[in-house]
Chain A
Amino acid sequence: MKKNILKSILLVFFAMGFMSCEDLLQEKVYSELETSNFLTTKSGIDALLYASYNNMSPNSKAYMITLFHSFICGGIGWSTGGSFELTVGKPLREFTWLATQPDFLSWWTNYYRGIRNANIAIDAVKNGIFPEDYQTQIISEAKALRGYFYYNLYMYFGPVPLFIKSSPENLIQPRATDEEIRNQIEKDLTEAANDLPVNQKLFGKVTKGAALGILCKFYLNTSQWQKCVNTAQEIIDLGEYHLVPKYSDIYSFDNEGNDEVVWVIAQAASPVSECSNIIANTVPQDFKLLPGQMSYAARNYLYDSFVNSFAGNDQRKDLILKQWVNNKDITIVGYGKDQSLPMKYPIDPKGIGDANGIDFMRVRYADILLSLAEALNELNGPNQVSIDLINQIRVRAGTNIVQLSDFSTKESLRDHLLKERLWEFYYEAMEREDLLRHGKFISNAQARGINAQDYHKVFPIPQSEVDTNPMIVQNPGY
């Protein structure tokens, strides 16, 4: 009897324990979110768009490299030490960059992630459950970000593959034509500017002015002068932006979010947010920093020739350290050895280790003014409006004003505008695009004795993309 009971128990185990548990194989997700419970909420769509914001400066890398790239290959300074010199600094100095260089990959990867996240947000918000004003808000922000990403990619690599849907039919896309990509950038930024508010409650979010600012820079760099003029005027007419009275205040911590900021990538020295490592990358290791702060093996120097180009009373050069006292109280003289330090960005009193919280300005009002001056010169030749715009900048810098009579030709004013821009925007990631627009990028490099060729005007498409995308055509020369 006992035996039979036992047998029965065994049978029950066999039958019940295992036969009816098919749904056990349903995969249960614990620490991640699913489309069904995430993209159907406002906070879900918001978070997705935040990721797109984050992609502008993931771990600060894309932005730091943008800055270094421009000032090194623009020829006003150089970088030495650390692994950075090996992988990036030296190739940029010598125009020997290759498609395998990690910084190209970093741009490409992060900007395309930003595009992907913006695309998903745009499509997801249209699912019919959100109010119209919310839809407009998300779509306009996402389009501004997408426009910004495509504009950056276009400036670095030329036309790139276009993805504007959240689930593309084909994962493999060829490069768009020049016209297609320009149209997309213009469309995204224009549509965004139409719908975006002039002021956002949250500083750091894209505004109407920001979208217009990027659009203005896009028109400028693609020589669409009249459109550039119109857009710059539109920004000025917003009445939101003004020059900060003192040049060095533009970058001070007390003055973050000042009136000159048109489009900024916000940073903070917190371990979880996107902090900058600009100081750690700029100064030598023996530089006197605040307790608990450090710098890397790599440091960035300005050439003496650039330091010498400033007028004596130009306050903008006061942010360049020709000599300094190191942490052993020894005075180090960099000037004379092409080793002056660009100290435009302040040391963060809250910074720890390599973290620094200074915001990274992508478009400031001074840029809009000088862009307008340049576009007007291109359209009309030297004119008083351009001169007045330039002088607004020069007066703020405490240096002598220029006169219309100083410039007899369009070319001479153009040359001055380039110089003015280098003085105003050095170490702000503008050198490369300005030199390219003025047709000096290659010739200046050649004049420095570098074997620069026409093909260096665009960077190579990252090798990983070439390896995985059979439809992509590498830029010629690489």
Chain B
Amino acid sequence: MTNFELINLWERYPALKTYLLIMKLSFILCFLGMLQVSASVYSQNKLTYSFENKSIKNVLEEIENTTELRFFYNEDYLDMGKRVTIEGVEVDINDFLASLLETSDAGFRFLDNNLVVIVPKEAEQQQGNVTGTVTDKDGSPLPAVTIVVTGTTLGTLTDVAGNYSIEIPQGAKTLTFSFIGMETQVVTIGTQTQINVTMAESAIGLDEVVVIGYGTQKKSDLTGSLSQVTNENFNKGVNSSIDQAIMGRASGVQIRQTSSEPGGGISIRIRGASSINAGNEPLFVIDGLPIDNSPTLSIGGGAGTSPNPNSQNPMSSLNPDNIQSIEILKDASATAIYGSRGANGVILITTKRGIGEKMQVDFNHYRGIQSILRKYEVLGTSEYIDVINALSIEKGNSPVFSQSDIESIGKGTDWQDEIFHTANVQNYNLSFSGKTNNINYFISGNYYDQEGTVKNSGIKKYILKNNLESTINDRLSINLNMNTSVINDNPIVGGISHNEFAGAIYSAVFFDPTEKVKDEDGNYTISPNLLMPNPVSVIEGIENNVETLRVLGNISMNYKITDALSTKINFGSDFQNARRDVYNSKLTLLGLNNNGMAYINSLNRSNILGEYTLSYSKTLKGNSLITALAGATYQTFTDRSYSSSAGNFPTDITRTDNLSFGDPSKTVVASNKNANTLLSYLGRVSYNLYDRFLFTGSIRADGSSRFGENNKYGYFPSLAFAWKLHQEKFIPDFFSELKLRASWGMTGNQEISNYASLSTYSAAGYALFNESTYVASQPSRLSNPNLKWETTEQFNIGIDADIFKGRISGSFDYFVKNTRDMLIYLPTPLSTGYTNQLRNVGKMNNIGFEAIINSRNIEQKNFKWNTILNFSAIRNEVKDIGELSMILMGEAPGVGENSTIVKPGLPLNSYYGYKITGIFQTAEEVAGSAQINSKPGNPIFEDTNSDGIINSNDKQVLGNPFPDFTFGIINNFNYKNFELSINFNGQYGNDLLNATELLLMYPSNFRRNRSSIQTRDRWTPQNPGAKWPSGTDPNTYGGGAVSNYFVEDASYIRLQSLQLSYILPTKKLNFIDMVRIDITGQNLFTITNYTGGNPDSNVYGQGNYHIDFFSYPLAKIWTMGINMKF
């Protein structure tokens, strides 16, 4: 095909040209080298032409058809219809345009990549200073409006009186005025030196730019499903981490605070749980750096403390005040660009940048008090004495407490009062931002100190943030984002163990209330009747400190090769150095027995990123736009850990500071190192056709070291289409936006442990010969060389709508997420010598609907009310788990029974156990039952298979851990300078295993304290209608059985936060821009039927099964804050 024919074809079929252009572009992106040749061809080229009596417009169109030149012009003010007759041979393009426009009122300017702007002549030359005032439609000055010279990074902010002043560089044409919640305005500068602007309120900011994977996009051009939460919309009050700050703010995103401890664990599910054994947490990307957000060190274990699967939240290392916005990518169109890490959704965090010539100083401070919402319901001293005596008599023994005992006991001890207290929280934040000499800077320091409501627990954070952006020239800019944090964490001793290893809350609930805190000698009492540490001795006697230093950041270089094509090199790193020190002193039961126990554990974690991307963006004729991205990225993660423990210390004084004081024969050391690597290639093309139809296609080829020899690479494509219906005539005008979106794509999950595909040997204890130890080693696992990705295929359709100019706007999405080749630790018969094998089997499915609606109910000069409602309903179902019919999981701590089941047809980890149908009333009733060893007052378990025995075959499904729906309702009221913000959130329809209450029903020792819920309505011959069993010899009735009595409805609605703020009238003070004070209450009340500490808690942290076990109680928090801008 010759050039000539090609040109003819283009003329006949303009769409073909576009198509070919896309093809060409993709081609170019793949072969950068060729692109270098074609990029600047026309700017040096000569034209041969001949036009007779054509309009200027026609001429320009002809040129566009035969060259790669593209023209931009506004028909309204240019005399484009004017007819001309010109011709020339090998004329320079500049000369040609000059002669073409000679007699018109227009001039032209070349942009770099063959783009030519036709502009009015008087606008060609303009420089100097422009000043002005920006007001809202009522004439009130608007402070902090961003003013940018369009197309540059030069900009400023309005001051408190709405005034600004900006230097206009040569060639600048327009100024862009933007302000959150207002329509962005572009004003032509022309000859004006004063430009006053009235800003109109916008809808939800259709023209806002949102961050997407490896780039940005206009919100109105999105094809995928994305939730954005900007800084102004973060949850009010105390947020120790960014995930707390967005809890309940985004639809389809369920954020659970699995421990209410300061800095406590958080678990996030974006569009449901999509994996059984691989991770379910989303990928976090901070300013373009994907991080490993898995918990660092466990806060339990070592020195006689309980293991604690609920780790602290690693996100604590970011200061929410430094975050500009958070974008949550939900559907596959948005996440497939993250390939093997996209299946659980992606959370993009963008930190603040400096803008404006004037340095802005921000100071925030709040302080407050926290108190627990409610205590665990156990018996008080006198009630305990009565119940223990009664139970003893019912057993046929004599009463435990005589009258004289009761007198000497007196008030006894409320152990919960001894360990809980009202705790302080304070936060200071200072930031400087602005722009000087082409460097945009944002520098911030943060000090955060939150005590826990359990004594001697809490977290202190010191965070420094430094973002610098340097514009070297109009093509090259370099960026530095750095976040440095030091976190001192004092978690409580908690976790899943019991008896002598009991944590503070466990022992405070169970400890005998007739005991005193200390004996006559001033030592902590040890109960002769219980194998459990004195709760106060746990608080005072065990030191548990975690110090984490984290340096996280990236440097990038952006270079515009041409105006359309730019490239970016990004290097990032995330180093974490965590060390945990535990000392169990002689004040505690175990510490005393072992003469002090010390444990030190340290972890060095590194994450290094190298990335190269190339992006292309070109405006085509007829409001069409094509953008494309290609890139390669390499990331490697390394963990190194070291631990040592020692015991038998002569004194407690040196604690963990000198382990060599310990008995050398009791010293144990261990270390570990492992690493994994990702090497990926990615590409994306978006095409906006006539600003009506949007197409996006992306693909990522992801290689991971974690997978089997034969399956190193996975390919994750996505396709999406959106239609801006509001651009169509048949849609009524009151729709300022109506967009239909549809997407399909595949994402993966690689969150499994390293080496899962390999056959390796690890240490396996010791053999003992001649009283000496010999290190043993055994296979680590049953290897699987065919291991590959877990693949999630997602289909999404959605609508974005905005009516009455943003008075009501919303997004609605329906999605189907099918996970296949699930990475499951498939139990193998134990007779093989192996417990399980990681294999790609099974399928799971999540179907959901989510909606977010923003309504500006009242808009008056002095009074405004707006409401944001989000709602999501997700149904999870396990479809297939290979050859097995079910897998039992979720061991109930302290009981040793599995409490959940994974079975096709059921939601993942449905609660599973026995059903109590009532209480035996008479011996006859017992004799005729399947529990002939029972007594009246014992619970009746349902014999589901009617075989006359109660055994594991009688277990049944008891509940669903997933909510039917979750929601958040946020109302903001503004009256003059006052603002009231009320945020409710909640969930409905999910169950939670209350293992605390379960353990209280089966106390392993007679003298443990009991649940007052159970004892107040316990069965006695006089109380035959009781719900709870007699409590006499509880071990004899199905000891520890997980039953429907403990699978509780965990639906709740909570007043998450309430904030009243007031902006002080400081207009007359020159040195200050704004002062805002507020009073905030958090967790003020929760409406729930759940009887445990917190319906969100999970002792297994981010695990897929949810069990509440002596959870850290939720705190009610009141704070007062001040926010000043200078």
Contact = CB atoms under 8 A, between A and B. Distances in A.
Genuine A/B complex: yes
Nearest to A153: B831
A81 B833 CA distance: 33
Interface string A256-276: 000000000011101111100
A17 B594 CA distance: 55
Given A33-B760, A98-B951, A50 B675 contact: no
A203 interface: yes
A312 to B, nearest CB: 33
Interface stretch (B393-401, B437-445, B482-490, B822-830): B822-830
A352 B632 CA distance: 57
Nearest to B932: A451
B884 A274 contact: no
A447 interface: no
A468 B712 contact: no
Given A32-B755, A85-B1035, A468-B884, A44 B1005 contact: no
B665 A31 contact: no
Contacts of A35: 759-761
Given A24-B705, A163-B832, A17 B1004 contact: no
Contacts of B1005: 81-82, 297
Contacts of A467: 827, 884, 886, 888
Nearest to B592: A292
B498 to A, nearest CB: 7
A161 interface: yes
Given A25-B679, A35-B759, A173-B829, A292 B952 contact: no
Interface stretch (A115-123, A210-218, A366-374, A389-397): A115-123
Contacts of A119: 833
A378 to B, nearest CB: 33
A233 B151 CA distance: 101
Contacts of B705: 24-28
Contact of A161 (B590, B634, B760, B831): B831
Given A27-B757, A48-B777, A53-B767, A296 B833 contact: no
Interface string B774-812: 111111101000000000000000000000000000000
Contacts of A112: 830-833
A27 B755 contact: yes
B498 A11 contact: no
B771 interface: yes
A51 interface: yes
B594 A352 contact: yes
A328 B835 CA distance: 47
A22 B773 CA distance: 43
B499 A296 contact: yes
Nearest to B610: A17
A210 B668 CA distance: 32
A102 B675 CA distance: 35
Which size bracket describes the interface of A in this complex? 35 or more
B398 to A, nearest CB: 14
B975 interface: no
Interface in A441-463: 451, 462-463
B658 interface: no
Contact of A50 (B567, B767, B834): B767
Do most interface residues of chain B lie in helix, strand or loop, or is the interface mixed? mixed
Nearest to B775: A47
B830 A268 contact: no
Interface string A35-48: 10011000010111
Interface string B623-664: 000000000111010000000010110000000000000000
B679 A24 contact: yes
A90 B1036 contact: yes
A165 to B, nearest CB: 11
Interface in B703-758: 703-706, 712, 754-755, 757-758
A96 interface: yes
B754 A47 contact: no
A113 B776 CA distance: 13
A98 B952 CA distance: 8
Given A31-B671, A48-B778, A292 B594 contact: yes
B215 interface: no
A304 interface: no
Given A29-B760, A30-B673, A113 B833 contact: yes
B671 A268 contact: no
Contacts of A98: 951-952
Contacts of A6: 476, 559
Contact of A10 (B567, B634, B894): B567
A288 to B, nearest CB: 13
Given A31-B672, A274-B768, A94 B754 contact: no
Residue among B32, B569, B766 with max Cβ neighbours from chain A (10 Å): B766
Contacts of A50: 766-767, 774-777
Contact of A34 (B33, B567, B761, B886): B761
B664 to A, nearest CB: 11
Nearest to A33: B761
A112 B636 CA distance: 38
Contacts of A7: 36, 561
B675 A464 contact: no
Interface string A1-29: 00100110011011001110110111111
B674 A31 contact: yes
B827 A468 contact: yes
B860 interface: no
A444 B338 CA distance: 68
Nearest to B567: A10
Contacts of A33: 760-762, 777
B766 A274 contact: yes
Nearest to B663: A352
A10 B559 contact: yes
A83 B592 CA distance: 23
Given A51-B764, A352-B594, A173 B559 contact: no
A373 B780 CA distance: 46
Q: Which 7 A-B pairs have the closest CB atoms?
A: A116-B833, A202-B769, A50-B776, A50-B767, A469-B829, A51-B776, A297-B531
Given A10-B569, A17-B634, A81-B1005, 8 more contacts: A21-B679, A33-B777, A83-B499, A85-B1035, A116-B832, A116-B833, A270-B665, A297-B1004
9 contacts: A17-B632, A21-B634, A51-B765, A116-B833, A173-B829, A273-B768, A274-B766, A292-B593, A292-B648
Interface of B: 32-33, 36, 475-476, 498-500, 528, 530-531, 559, 561, 567, 569, 589-590, 592-595, 610, 612, 614, 632-634, 636, 645, 647-648, 665-666, 668, 671-677, 679, 681, 703-706, 712, 754-755, 757-762, 764-771, 773-780, 782, 827-835, 883-884, 886, 888, 894, 896-897, 932-933, 951-952, 1002, 1004-1005, 1035-1036, 1039-1040
